[in-house]
Amino acid sequence: MKNKIRVAVLGSTGYVGMELVKILSNHSYVDINFLGSETEHGSFLNNIDNTNKYTNLPILSPNKNFRPEDSDYVFLALPHAVSNKYVKKFYNKINIIDLSADFRLDNFEVYKKNYGNKHECEELLNNFIYGLAEINRDKILNSKNIAVPGCYPTSILLPLIPLIKNRLIDTKNIIIDSKSGYSGAGKKFDFNKIKSKNDYNFYNYNTNNHRHIAEIKQELNKHNSENEVRFSFNPHILPNFRGMISTIYCDLNIGIKKTDIINLFHELQKLNPFIKYIDNDETLDFFSVQNSNYCKIKIFNHHSEDKIIIVSAIDNLIKGAAGQAVQCFNISENIEETVSLV
């Protein structure tokens, strides 16, 4: 058995941070030796998250008190524009798994356009591996710096990249319609936007202007040598706490049939423990992926034979964040990929 790996989590009291601690506290190879929080330091996580009974966890400390020499890995569950400040301090001193958007984009001008913040170590953008585990597994192995993908991109890229790599779909007119629980907006989300006195609300936002579009475009184009992938992206917020479903409308390339798509996903799920292709009557909904690291995918017929509809479901806090981060950690350390995730 491997020696325990000393792990720190900064931002451990946010939605994603708490999910990270939950997963890592049950990890047989991990010793959590630092938990950082900007708002709750001096307390114990049990006092904040009463859904779990944690044992042997350190008291919450200010994020700034973390010393990289005391741990082997640090998970940064921090907002964009905050993570990069810590990376500047920690780089080359510790293995870093960053869950913010600060190191997902390869180009600083693209980052600045979408996040509008000064980046304190833009020269390191290309030094992080994009942690989409099923696609970049070989790059993640033994990597010291990993940028965990966003939740919307995860639900979209996992079904689309294999189709583009295998030239099964036309890349000039992809339509993506995504729906997320409100936890994706973080603890500062205004619940009044989705709840009135008498009813619940549901709304779209940032249509074709969402920050994740740059990330989706960047990663899709890495697997398409012929032309730029063109797509429309329309995200929505639902009055559910967690969960994400992306519905993707694609044109098949000439000579390609729906069975070719299905056969590909059958092969992919054999190679990837967290990809589940659904070919029965199971309904893809939030409940079917809740609290899991699975991405479930289902293919539907379109009334036109040269088109297909793909539905992809994930838990935005797990496969879209904390679970994927731990999956990357396992791969990087050459641990069985599913440890603490099934």
Q: Which residue has the tokens 């409308």?
A: 249
Q: Which residues pair with 178 in a beta bridge?
A: 235, 246
Task: Read off the pLDDT band of 2 (50, 70, 90).
Answer: low
Confidence category of residue 249, pLDDT binned at 50, 70, 90: very high
Catalytic residue among 151, 250, 295, 328: 151
**pLDDT at residue 305 in the model:** 87
Distance CA 24, CA 339 (A): 10
Q: Give the model confidence (pLDDT) of 77-115 as tens digits.
A: 999 999 999 999 999 999 999 999 999 999 999 999 999
pLDDT tens digit sequence for 265-315: 999 999 999 999 999 888 899 999 999 999 999 999 888 889 999 999 999
The CA radius of gyration of the chain, in Å to the nearest whole number, is 20
CA–CA dist 33, 42 (Å, integer): 15
Cβ-proximal residues to 241 (8 Å cutoff; 6+ apart), any chain: 181, 182, 183
Residue from 120, 127, 178 nearest 316 by CA = 178
Mean pLDDT score, 162-179 = 96
The contacts of residue 19 (CB under 8 Å, 6+ apart) are: 317, 318, 321, 322, 323
Whether pLDDT at 197 is above 70: yes
Q: Please say if 295 is a catalytic residue.
A: no
155 compared with 196, residue with greater pLDDT: 155
- Domains assigned to the chain: 5-127 (3.40.50.720), 152-316 (3.30.360.10)
Average pLDDT, the chain: 94
Q: Note the helical H segments in the chain.
A: 15-24, 83-90, 108-115, 133-140, 151-165, 212-221, 258-271, 286-289, 323-332
Reported pTM: 0.95
